[in-house]
Amino acid sequence: MSQKWRENMSYKVKLNIFEGPFDLLVYLIENAQMNIYDINVAEIVEQYLEYIDEMESREIAVAAEFMVLAASLIEIKSKMLLPRVSVDGDMLAVEDPRTELVEKLLEYKRFKAAAAMLSDAEEYALRVYEKPQEDISMYTEQLDEYLQMDIDQFVNAFNLFLYRKKKVEDVRRHYTRLERQKVSIEQKILYIKAFFARVNRTSVTFDELVEEGGDKYNKVVTFTSLLEMAKSKAVGLKQKANFEKIVITKGNTLNEFDAAAAAAAQIKEENE
């Protein structure tokens, strides 16, 4: 790269979080917890110049705007050192040399806040996706269809509508749809124990247990309950061959079998 090309190139260097001299100055003031209307210029100038020296020690070309602000700060520091009392001992009406700096800092903070708000709005807008407009002319250009009927047909159709509406309301007023309560494993175990006591036999078949409620759900709950009872040896299960009848034999611990505990164990096992 030629020397002339290097001289014509300009770089915008961003160190840490500082994008310019005012950004650095605001950071120093806020970090020192100073009131922006009562800046300790001497302390801020010292910290600001230390930062400039650090930039130069890293062989980073210090931008002119940093040097201009440094000169302004030194000038303000010098004016702050001037006496504010006259020879006669009277207080001189001297404007605070920090006033212009404070106004510029406040203006910078306002613009920075506005830039942050616009950046957030841009980021939000980038996450918004719009659906492209579709051609719905094929639906809007169709003409409305009119039913061709005389007054008698219209009256008959309306009377039929009223009759059906009244019939539905009568049905809803006089009848209520009830849903049959499902049998739980605990209830089915108690039923099996009661069934053995009622028939007074030591063995029964599976078909006998589900005879009173032969729906599919009842069969599944009965079979699950028998498996849970068989694990605790409250009953014995036997089937000679595939598709043969399942014989349930009464166990010695059937009467002491805890239906609630068995149901809770089954629910816990299903959840795991």
The pLDDT value recorded for residue 127 is 87
Q: Cβ(225)–Cβ(188) under 8 Å? A: yes
**How many residues comprise the chain?**
272
Q: Give the residue-averaged pLDDT of 231-251.
A: 86
Token pair recorded at residue 99: 């006033």
Range of lowest pLDDT (95-109, 118-132, 222-236, 254-268): 254-268
**Between the ranges 3-17, 51-65, 88-102, 186-200, where is the mean pLDDT highest?**
186-200
Angle at 104 between CA 102 and CA 107, to 5 degrees: 110
Query: Which of 7 and 68 is assigned the larger pLDDT?
Result: 68
Per residue, what are the HEC states of the chain? Answer: CCHHHHHHCCCCCCECCECCHHHHHHHHHHHCCCCCCCCCHHHHHHHHHHHHHHHHHCCCCCCHHHHHHHHHHHHHHHHHHCCCECCCCCECCCCCCCHHHHHHHHHHHHHHHHHHHHHHHHHHHHCCCCCCCCCCHHHHCCCCCCCCCCHHHHHHHHHHHHHHHHHHHHHHHHCCCCCCCCCCHHHHHHHHHHHHHHHCCCEEEHHHHCCCCCCHHHHHHHHHHHHHHHHCCCEEEECCCCCCCCEEEECCCCCCCCHHHHHHHHHHHHHC
Look at residue 244 and tell me whether its pLDDT is greater than 50. Answer: yes
What band does 162 get if pLDDT is binned at 50, 70 and 90?
very high
Banded pLDDT at 63 (limits 50, 70, 90): low
Sign of CA dihedral 83, 86, 88, 91: negative
Q: Return the top range by mean pLDDT from 146-150, 244-248, 264-268.
A: 244-248
Please give the pLDDT value at position 4: 39
In the block, tokens 């002339």 appear at 4
- For the record, the structure tokens of 175 come out as 């009848």
Residue 269 reports pLDDT greater than 60 = no
Amino acid identity for residue 78 in this structure = S
**Could you tell me the pLDDT band of residue 14, with boundaries at 50, 70 and 90?**
very low
Q: How far apart are CA 105 and CA 69, in angstroms?
A: 12
Q: What is the pLDDT of residues 70-117, one digit of tens each?
A: 888 888 878 777 766 555 656 566 677 778 888 888 888 888 889 889
Cβ neighbours of residue 14 closer than 8 Å, sequence gap 6 or more: none
